[in-house]
Structure 1
Amino acid sequence: MGVAGPKAGGPARRLLVGRDQELDRLFGMVDQIATRGGALVVRGEAGIGKSALLAAAGERARERGAAVVTTTGTQSEARLAFGGLHQLLLPFLDRVGHRPDPQRKALDVAFGATEGDAPDLFLIGLATLGVITEREAQAPLLLVVEDAHWLDRSSAEVLAFVARRLEMEPVILLFAVRDGVPSALDEAGLPDLTLVGLDADASRTLIDVNETGLSEDLKRRILAEAAGNPLALIELPAAAVDLDLTRGWEPLPLTARLEATFATRLAGLDADVRALVLLAALHDGNLAELNQAAEELLGGRLGAGYWAVVAAAGLGTLDDGEFRFRHPLIRSAVYQAATGEQRRSAHRALARTLAGNPDRAVWHRAAAAPGPVEEIASALVAAADRATDRGGLDIAFAALERAAGLSADPRLRALRLARAGNLANQLGRSAEAVRLLRAALQIGRLPAHEAAMAAFDLETLTRAWSGASTIRRFARIAEDFADRGDGRRALEALGAVSVRAYWDQLDDKTRRHVSVFVERLAVPADDPQRLAALGLIDPIRRGPEVIARVARMSQAGLPGPDESMAVGRAAMAVWADNLALPFLRSAVAGYRADGRLARLAQCLMYEAWADVNCGAVRNAITSADEAARLAGEVGQVRFGRAASLAHAIAVAELREEETADHLITDAEGALVPMGASPQLSLISFARGRAALAADRPAEAYHHLARIYDPADASHQPYVCGWALADLVDAAVRGDGDLDLVRGLLTEWEGIAVATGAPHLEVQVAYAGALLADDETAERRFQAAMTSRTAGWPFYTARTQLAYGGWLRRRRRGAESRTPLREAARVFDALGLLCFADRARRELRASGERARRRVPAAWAELSPQELQIAQLAAEGLSNRDIGERLYLSHRTVSTHLHRLFPKLGITSRAQLRDALRPPDGS
C-alpha cells in the first residue's frame, strides 16, 4: 500500500490509495471500540498492504482515545513456546500476579518464570483474557499482531481463544497473516478480511504519485507485472534499471521478482555488511545479540557504521535497540542470496552468542549441522521436554521431528518420529501425524508396545480401523504388560481402544476374551479405568458388575476429573445414565478448574447425552451447546457434532424444529465425510426423536428402526438400548411393525433382567405397557408408574401420559385426568414442552378445560444465556461465572443485562423464581 497526497477523511486515511472499503470496515470496528470489541484477521499476499491497513487502524484508535499495543511475529522466534504471547503481554505483565492462582501459575510456567506441571493451553488463554480485559486503566485497547503467521502455534491458539471472547469487551485484536504460510489462525473461525490487488486506476495513481519520470511503455509493463500489488507498484519502478525492466524480463512469480528487487540492494554492500544483514535475517532484531554474533562471525571486524549503511540502503530501520527489516520479503531476499555455508556459519555464530539460552541456541546449532549429530539431536529432545513442561506441544513436536532428522541411530530416529507423530496427533495435525508415524513404523526398530500404539494411531487417522484384529493386538500387548506385573500399563493399552470397541460391531468371542483379561488384571476391582474398560468392551456381560460397583462409589472419593469421567463413561456404557451424571458433573467441574478444555468438551458431550436419556433437556441444552463450542476451539469435530445431536433432541422438545433440523444436518454433513459410520446411529436417533417431538410418529419409526436393522449403516447394537421406548412409542402411534417391535422388546427385556441396567428397566416397563393387550395393560401401566420408573421422572410422566390416553380411549375420562395432569406438570418441570402439549391435548379430549401452557420464560434464552442465568441464580458472582465459562466478568455482566428483560425481571434476586418451572415444580 503506497503513499499518496492528503485525502479527505482524516490523517489515518490520507496515505492509502484504493482501500476505502477495507478502511471503512476497520474504522467501523475501531469507532465502536468503547462499547463493542472483536477480532479480525487481515489476509493477503506479501506486499498487498496488510501492515499499512493495520497502521491506519492503530492511528484511528489513538484518535479515539484507545491504547494501542503492537507485536510482530518473527520466524526465528516461532520455535519458542509462548514467545509471541509473551511479547504482546509485556506491557501488562504486572497484572499477571493479580490473576487467580491457577491462572497465574499457568502463565508463569508458560513464560518460564517458574517450574510446574504443564499448564493447559486454555487455562493460559483464560489468564490472558483476564490480563487484557481487567486492566486498572479501562481505556479501550487495540492489540495488533503483525506477521501473525510466524507466531508459535501455542501463542496463536491462545490469542485465537481470547479473540473469540472479546465481543463484549472494549478490546479489539487485529492479525495480519500472509497467504500461503500455514498458521493456527487459518482454522480459528475468526472473521477475516482478504486483501486483493488494487484496481487499474488505483495502481496507476500509486505509480504516478511515487515515480513521475517513467515512460508510458514502462508503466504498462510494471502495471502488468505488479498485478495491483502496492509494494511492487512502489519498488519495481525504483528498480527498473537495475532489473533491466526497460528491455523486458523473464516471467517470474511476483514474490520472486520483489525478492530480486531487494537483492539488488545487497550486491553493492561490503561483504562484512552483507554478513551482518544475514545474521539479522536468521535472528530476531535484538541489536546487542546481533552485534555479539557479528563479532563472533567477523572476528572483531564489526565496523561502527555498518548498521547505518544497512539503513541507508533501505533494507531496514534501527529503533529502540532493535533492527527491523522494512518488509519481510527483504529478510527472505537476504536469506536466498546467501550460500549454504554462509548460512551455516551465521547460525554457528548465533548459537555461540545464545549459549546461555539453550532453547534458542539449539535451533541455530541444528541449522548449522551438516548432517546427523547425536549431541545436537539429544539437545533438541531436551528442548522438546522443556517445551512440553511449559505446555508448548507444538514446539516439542517440531523439536522432536528435527531431532529425528539429526539421529544416526535408526532406533532413536524411529522413537523420535513416533513421539513427534503422537504430538502432532494431539495437536490435531492429522496429515503430519500420519507422515511421521508411517516413517517411524517403516524404520522397523520401535519396541513392540510403541509400534502398536503408533499403528493404532495410524489406523484411526487413516480410517483403516480393522476392528477385532486391532483389539486383539492390543490385548496381546496388554497381556505382555500384565505378565511383567504392570497392570496399570496394561489398562492404558486397552484404554486406547475401548471406546472404539464399544462403537464397533466386534464379534462376541473377542469381547469375551478381552473382558476376561481385564477382569483378571492386578488392579483394584473398583479402579475407574478398569470399570470403563469392562463397560465399554463388553457392556452386556459386564454390566451387572459395573452397575453394582458404580452404585457404591462416590465422586468425592476419586482423585481427579479423569477418574470421575471414567466412572461416568462406564455407567453410561451399561445404560445407567442416572448413575453416570453425578460423576460426569464432578469431572466437568474438575476440568473447568484445571482449564483442560479438550477434556471438558468431551465430558460435557457425555453429560449432555446422559441428560437427554434422563429427560433433563434444559441441562442438556446448556451442556451440549458449550461442548460443541469448545470442541470447535480444540479441533474435536466428532465430539462437537455428537454434542450437537444431543442438542438437537433437546431443542426439538421445545418445538424448535428448524433449529433441531439444522443441528442434525450440520452434524451429518461433518461426520459422514469423515467416515464416522458408528455415529450414524446417533443421527438416526436424533432424527427419530425430533420427529416424535413434532408428532410425526411414522417418520420417527422409520428413523429409529434403522438403528435396529443389522443390514443398515445406522445399526449400532448398544444405541438400541437408548432408543427402545421411543421406537415402541413411534410404532404404536405410527403404524410401525408391531411384531418386529415385540420381538425386540423381548430381547431387551432379557438384557434388562440380566444386567439390572436402570435405563433399560424403565424403558422395557414403559414399552411393555404400551404393547400389552387389554387384559394386562392396566396392571402393567400401574406397575411401571410405581416401581421401575422411580427416580426417572421423564419415564414416570411418559407412562402417566400413555396410561391417561389409554383410559380416555376406553371412555374412562374422569379417571384419565389425574395421571394426565401429573404428566403435564412433570413435563413442564423438565422443560419437555412437546410432551407437555400432548398431555394437555389429552386432557382437553377427556373433557377437562386444560389451560394452555404459558411459554417458559427460560425457553427464550440462548443456551449460553440460560447457563449464565442458572449459575447466577445459584449465587455465583460474575467473576466466578466467568472463570467457569472462560469469559470475562464484563461479558457475563452484559449477558445478564440482556437476559433480564427476556425473563421479565430487573435483578439477580429474581432469577431463581424466573427459572422455576410452573406450579413451583
Structure 2
Amino acid sequence: MIETAAGTAAGHRGAGRLDRDIPERHGARRPTGRDGELGHILGRIGPDTADSRILVLLGAEGIGKTWLLRAVCEQAAAAGVHVLSAQSWTVEKEVAFAGLRRLVAAASAGSVDQAADFHGHADVESLDAAALLNRLAAPGRTLIAVDDVQDCDPATVAALCQMVRHATTHPVSVLLAGRGDAGPCGLPPEAEILRVGPLGPRSAAALLDAQPGAPTGRRRLELLRDARGNPSALLELCRDRGMPDDSAFPAGPDLLGTRIEREFEMRIRGLPPETQRALLYATTALPGESLATITGALGADDLDVWAPAETAGLIAIRDGQVVFRHPLGRSAAGRQPVHVRHRAHSDLAAAVGAARPAVRAQHVAATSLGADEATARMLNSTAWTAGDTFTAARILERAAELSDAPGQVVRLADALVAACALGDLDWVRTLHEDLVRRAADPVLGSAAACAVASTLSLASYQQEAFDLLLEAADRCPDPDGPLALAVAAVAAGIAEASGLPEHYRRLPGLQARADAAIAARTQSESVSETETEGAAAWLNDGDVRSALNAYVSTVTRDDAAAGLTHRLEQPRLGTLSDDPGRLVRRLAVAAVAYRADDPEPCLAQFRKADAELRARAAFGVRAWLLAPLVDTLLATGRWTEAEALTESAMDQAVVLKMSRVATDLHALTLTLSALRGDTSLEDPAPRYDGRLDGGFQGAAHGAFHSALSNGGIDLAENGAARARLARAHGLTAMARGDWAAGFRRLRSLFSLDGEPVHPHLSPRAIADLAVAAARSGRSPEAAKILERTREQQGDRPSIRMTLLMHHAAALVDPDTDPEDAFQLALVNPAGEQWPLERAQARFSYALWLRRARRTSEAREQLTSALEAAEELGADGLATAIRGEMRASGVATAPEPAAALAALTAQQRQIVHLAARGLSNREIGDQLYLSPRTVGSHLYNVYPKLGISSRHQLRDVLERG
C-alpha cells in the first residue's frame, strides 16, 4: 500500500505551481490551505489521468477531509468527469452492500439526492465487477467518492476495489475519506493512502481571519495555538470565543459547545467520574506539564484512571505527559463550572509547590478574582522564566490586571514590551491604549512609544511609527538619556525601512538630543526609578549605549560604518543565553557590520541573535534582523541557509500580520529564485491586494501570503521593501534574457537624477544595473547613475562597494579603461567573500576578452566563473557561461537528455522523485532502499548531469 503525507509543508511548497496547473473551473470551490493536497489528488485521479486508481484520505475529525473530497468532486465534475458520491452512516455499517446500493441508485437517478429509494436495488450483491461497471461507470472517466468510509460496510469497499481492477475500457477511480489512522479492511496493495495533516500556520490564520467576528490580538493567538491547525477546531473555537473575555487565567471563559465539540462532550460524559476529573486537571495544567504532577494534584497514584480516556481515543500518554488527540477534545474536557476549574488550579499549584514558582504563580493567578498584589509580584518576577515570549506577555498582562494602582502602570508597560517582542500589533495597540489612559509619565511614554513604533514599522506603517516617536520626544522636554538613545535607535531602524529623506534628516537631531541627555545624566550621577526598575534597565550598560549610538551614526551617514565596525567590541559567541542588554548590543553590532559590508562579524552576530530569539519565540525582535541576515547570506553564497530561513520566517510574519516583513521575505525569495535561474515565481505586474491567500495577484509564488486587514502595504513609505522587490524583479527579467525590462526595474532603484532611492540597498545593485544597461544599450544613462553613486559613497567606500563600482565602470563608464577596471574588480582577494559578484565580474571580463580576441585569457576567466556558479547553484549564470565556453571551444557538461539517458533505471527513478521534493527517506520508502543508498546514488548522479545540488534536478528534467 502506498502512503503519502499531506499537510503543512506540502501545502505551502506546492501552492504556487498548483495554482497554474489546476485552475478553478466554473466556480468550483477550494478549501483554504489545501492546494497541495488538492493538486496531488487531481494529479492521481483527475480528468487528465488515464489509469484507474484507489485513493484513501485519512485524518482526524474535522481536519478537512470532507471539504477536500467535495472540492475534488466539484473540480472533476466541472472538467467533464462522471462523478458519483455517497455518505456512509454508522447505522448501515453492518448492512452488506448498503453503500453500493446508494451509489447504484445515484447512477440510475442522476444524483444521490434524487435516489430516495436506494434500498430497492437489492440485486447489487449478485452483480459481478463487469456488471457493476455497466451500472456505475460512464463513457470517459468516472470518479466514485465515499465519505466517512470508516462507517461503510466492508462489502461495498470490496466491490468498489474489484470494479477498479476490472475497469479496462474506461478509467474508474475511487476516492475514499475516513477518520483515523488506518484505512478500511480489504484495500488492495496498489491503493494509495493520503494522510491529511493540520493546516500550516499561514492557512490556519487565513481561515480564522476570514470568519465573521474573528478575534484579534492575544485571543487570536491563543485560538491559533489551541486549534493546532484543525479547521473545524478553528471554526468552532472562533464561534465559541466570540464573546466578551471574562479574563479567566489561563483557562479562558466558559464555552458553548457546538457540533464536533458536543460529540467529544458526549464521549467524555460516558467516562467514569474519576476519569472526567482527571481530564479536567490535564486540560487545566500548563502545556508540557508532567503526568506525575497532574496525578499528584488529583491525589491518586493509580494510573488506571487514564485508561478509559485512552480507550475512547481522547488522549495518549507519551513521554510522561498527557496528550489530547484533538483540540476540541481538550476544550470539551475543560467545560466545567468556574469553581470546579478553580479547585483544579489550586490543586495543581499545591502539587507544583515552591520548586517551580513560575508555574505555581500562573495557577494561583487563575483563581484570583480581584486585585492581588502578592500574586502580581510573583507573576512579574517569574514571567520570563515561564516559557516563550507569548507566555511571558500573557503573564505580565495578567500581573498588571492584579496589581494595585501604584505598580499597575509599570507592569502594564512591561507587558507592552513583551507583546512588542512577540510582534502582534493588535495586542500591542490594546496594551498601549490602556497604558495611555492610566499613565502621564513622559519617560514611561517614551519607552512605550519605542515598543509601539517598532511593531508599527514591522506592519509597514512607517509614517505613523516615526511620528509617534517624534511626539513622544516632544512630550518629554527633559528626556531620560538612555531612553532618548533608544528612541533614536528605533527611529533609525524605521528610517532604514522607509527610506524616506525626511526621516533620515530627523535622525541627527534625535541623536544629539540623546547625547546631551546622557551627558547631563552623567554629570548629575542620578538614575530615575522608572529607568532602573522598568523594562529598559539594560540601557544603563555603557557598551549597549555605544553600540546603539554607532548604529544610529551608520544610518545617519552610510560611509561611517566602515570605521565604526572595527572600533566596536564584538559580543562573545558563547553558549550562554544573552540577557536583554547583550542581545540588543549584539543586534546593533551586527547591523553596523551589515552596513559596512563586513560579512563575517555580521553573520556571526546575527546568527547568534537569531538562535536566541528563535528559542524565545520573540519574533517581534527577530523580524528586524531577518532581511539584513538573508541579504548577507545571499551575497556570501549561503543560499540553502537563506532559503530555509525565509521559508520558516514567512509563517510567523504572516500569522503576526507583519506585512513589511512578509514583503521583504517575498522579495528575497524571488531574488534567490532569479539567482538560481528559476523565473517561474516572477509576477510580471505585481499588485498587492492584502489578502492572506492572495499575495501578489497573478504571482505564481503561492508562498507569499499576507494576513492583513489593512488592505496591503504602501510601498511609498516602505522604501527598503520597494528596493528589494525592484531588484528581485530586475534580476528575474535578466534571468529570462529580457535585458531592457531588467534595466527598467533596476533603474527604479534610483531617482531621475541618479540619486539612490534607498541609501544602502540601491547602490549595491549598481553592477547589476550596469550589466543590464550594457546589454540593452542604456550605458550612458547607467554611467550617470554610477557617477552619482560614487559621490554618495564618499572617499572611503566599503571593499564590496569598491569592487561593484569597478565592475560597473568597466561596463558603462566611457572615461574608464575597461581592462583596468575589470582587473581592479578582481584583484582584491577579499572579493571572494561575495562569490556570485566575483563570478559575474569574471564573466563580464571574459566577454570583453573574447571580443578583444584574447580567447585563452577568456577561457581562464570562464572556467573560474563556471566553478563558482556551479558551486552556488546559479544555474542561469552557469548556462550563460557554458554557452560562451562552447563558443570559445571549451568542452562542457553533456546535454541533459543525453546525461539522463546514460543513467540506470533506478538512478532515473531516484532523480525524478528527488526533483519532486521527496527526501532521501521518502524515496527509500518507495523504492525499498535505505536513505544512505539513495544519498549515494544522488552523489554519483550529480556530476553525470553537470549539476552540484538537489534543487537543480527539476531544471535538468525540464530541459531533458
SS at 2:817's partner residue? helix
Please state if 1:800 is matched with 2:842. Answer: yes
How many Å apart are 1:819 and its aligned residue?
Answer: 3.6
Q: 1:742 to 1:403 in 2, by over 3 A?
A: same
Q: How does 1:566-585 map to 2 (within 5 A)?
A: 566-574=588-596, 576=597, 579-585=598-604
1:27 is matched with which residue? 182
- Choose which of 543, 553, 557 in structure 2 pairs with 1:541: 557
Correspondence for 1:632 among 641, 651, 658: 651
Distance 1:405 1:39 in 2: 42
- Alpha-carbon shift at residue 389 of structure 1 (Å): 1.4
The match for 2:729 is 687
CA displacement 1:407-450 (0-9 Å, x = unmatched): 452x53333333333333333443232112111112233x3333
Q: Could you tell me which residue of structure 2 aligns to residue 68 of structure 1?
A: none
1:180 aligns with 2:246: no
**TM-score after normalising by structure 1:** 0.55
Contact 2:488 2:552 in 1 (8 A): no
Paired AA for residue 700 in structure 1: G
Between the aligned partners of 1:779 and 1:685, the Cα distance in structure 2 is 28
Give the equivalent residue in structure 1 for 2:804. Answer: 763
Mapped contact 1:651–1:659 kept (Cα < 8 A): yes
Corresponding residue of 2:879: 837
- The match for 2:161 is none
Separation in 2, partners of 1:8, 1:573: 74
Q: Does 1:848 align with 2:848?
A: no
DSSP 3-state at the match of 1:181? helix
Which one of 778, 784, 800 corresponds to residue 825 of structure 2?
Answer: 784
Matched, 1:655 2:694: no
Q: Does 1:642 align with 2:659?
A: no
SS at 2:376 equivalent? helix
Stretches of structure 1 lacking an aligned partner (at least 5 in a row) = 44-78, 80-148, 164-173, 187-225, 236-257, 267-275, 293-306, 308-315, 317-321, 337-341, 870-877, 879-892
Aligned to 1:513: 509
Shift of 1:452: 2.0
- Hey, what's the Cα distance between the residues in 1 that align with 2:541 and 2:388? 37
Q: 1:743 to 1:524 in 2, by over 3 A?
A: farther
Q: Is the 8 Å Cα contact of residues 404 and 414 (structure 1) preserved in structure 2?
A: yes
1:389 is aligned to: 385
Length-normalised TM-score, structure 2: 0.53
CA separation of 1:844 and 1:348: change in aligned 2, threshold 3 A: closer
State the match for 2:35 in structure 1. Answer: none
Per-residue CA deviations over 1:126-184 (Å, capped at 9, x if unaligned) read xxxxxxxxxxxxxxxxxxxxxxx999899x59x97xx9xxxxxxxxxx9994743269x
Query: Where does 1:418-817 land on structure 2 (aligned, <5 Å)?
Result: 418-445=413-440, 447-461=441-455, 464-465=461-462, 466=464, 469-470=467-468, 472=470, 483=481, 491-504=485-498, 505-507=500-502, 508-515=504-511, 527=543, 530-531=546-547, 533-535=549-551, 538-539=554-555, 541=557, 543-544=559-560, 546-551=561-566, 562=583, 563-574=585-596, 576=597, 579-585=598-604, 587-588=606-607, 592=611, 596=615, 598=619, 605-614=627-636, 616=637, 619-630=638-649, 632=651, 639=661, 642-659=664-681, 666-667=703-704, 673-675=712-714, 677-678=718-719, 679-709=721-751, 715-736=757-778, 738-773=779-814, 776-787=817-828, 790-791=831-832, 792-810=834-852, 816-817=858-859
Whole-Å Cα distance in 1 between the matches of residues 546 and 429 of structure 2?
A: 30
Question: Is the Cα contact below 8 Å between 1:532 and 1:569 reproduced in 2?
Answer: no
Contact 2:558 2:793 in 1 (8 A): no
Partner residue, 1:901: 937
Kept in 1, the 8 Å contact 2:416–2:432? The answer is yes
What is the deviation of 1:680?
Answer: 2.1
Query: CA shift at 1:332, angstroms?
Result: 8.2
Deviations 1:478-529 (A, max 9, x none): 996775xx5xx65545443432222221435423334556788689999577
Root-mean-square deviation over aligned CA pairs? 6.3
Distance 2:642 2:652 in 1: 15
Displacement after TM superposition at 1:402 (Å) = 3.8
**Cα offset, 1:689, TM superposition:** 1.4
CA contact (8 A) 1:800 1:823 kept: yes
> What one-letter code is carried by the residue in structure 2 that aligns with 1:397?
A
Alignment CA distance shift 1:853-1:674 (3 Å) = farther
Q: Is the contact made by 1:692 and 1:700 (CA closer than 8 Å) also made in structure 2?
A: yes
Which residue identity is paired with 1:572?
Answer: Y
CA distance in 2, matches of 1:291, 1:825: 69
Change (3 A) 1:656 1:454: same
Corresponding residue number in structure 1 for 2:412: 417
Counterpart position of 1:313: none
How many Å apart are 1:710 and its aligned residue?
A: 7.6
Q: Is the 8 A contact 1:601 1:631 kept in 2?
A: no
* Whole-angstrom distance in 2 between the partners of 1:405 and 1:600: 28
Aligned CA distance change for structure 1 residues 482 and 387 (closer, same or farther; 3 Å): closer
Distance 1:443 1:430 in 2: 20
CA contact (8 A) 1:387 1:393 kept: no
Where does the alignment leave 5 or more consecutive residues of structure 2 unmatched? 1-60, 62-88, 97-146, 155-175, 201-217, 243-256, 286-292, 306-313, 315-321, 520-538, 684-698, 901-909, 922-928, 953-960
Displacement of 1:356 after TM fit?
A: 5.8
Matched-pair contact (CA < 8 Å) for 1:532–1:570: no
1:526-578 Cα offsets, whole Å, 9 max, x none, are 9577456534554473534x31343477868566694555333212223x1xx
Please identify, of 834-843 and 430-439, the stretch whose mean Cα deviation from structure 2 is larger. Answer: 834-843
Q: Is the 8 A contact 1:495 1:529 kept in 2?
A: no
- How far 1:715 sits from its partner (Å)? 4.1
Distance 1:601 1:400 in 2: 22
Secondary structure at 1:754 match in 2? coil
SS in 2 for 1:719: coil
Q: Conserved in 1, the CA contact under 8 Å of 2:774 and 2:812?
A: yes
Give % identity: 16
Partner Cα distance (1:651, 1:282) in 2: 45
Q: Distance in 1 between matches of 2:681 and 2:236?
A: 37
User: Is this contact kept in 2: 1:621–1:647, CA < 8 A?
Assistant: no
Given the superposition, is the C-alpha separation of residues 532 and 727 from structure 1 closer, same or farther in structure 2, using an over 3 Å criterion? farther
Distance 2:858 2:508 in 1: 48
Q: What is the CA distance between 1:796 and its match in structure 2?
A: 4.0
Q: Could you tell me how far 1:688 is from its partner in structure 2?
A: 0.9
**Residues 528 and 424 of structure 1: CA distance in aligned 2, closer, same or farther (over 3 Å):** closer
Find the residue that maps to 2:737 and give its secondary structure. Answer: coil
Structure 2 letter corresponding to 1:901:
H
Taking a change above 3 Å as real, the CA distance of residues 823 and 687 of structure 1, as seen in their structure-2 partners, is same
- The residue identity in structure 2 corresponding to 1:725 is A
CA displacement 1:194-249 (0-9 Å, x = unmatched): xxxxxxxxxxxxxxxxxxxxxxxxxxxxxxxx9987958998xxxxxxxxxxxxxx
Q: Following the alignment from structure 1 to structure 2, what is the Cα–Cα distance between the partners of residues 408 and 783?
A: 68
| Cα distance, 1:40–1:666 mapped onto 2, change above 3 Å | closer
Superposed, 1:179-218 pairs within 5 Å as 179-181=235-237
Question: 1:335 — aligned with what?
Answer: 337
CA separation of 1:741 and 1:28: change in aligned 2, threshold 3 A: farther
The answer as to whether partners of 1:691 and 1:697 remain within 8 angstroms in 2 is yes
1:23 is paired with a residue whose SS is strand
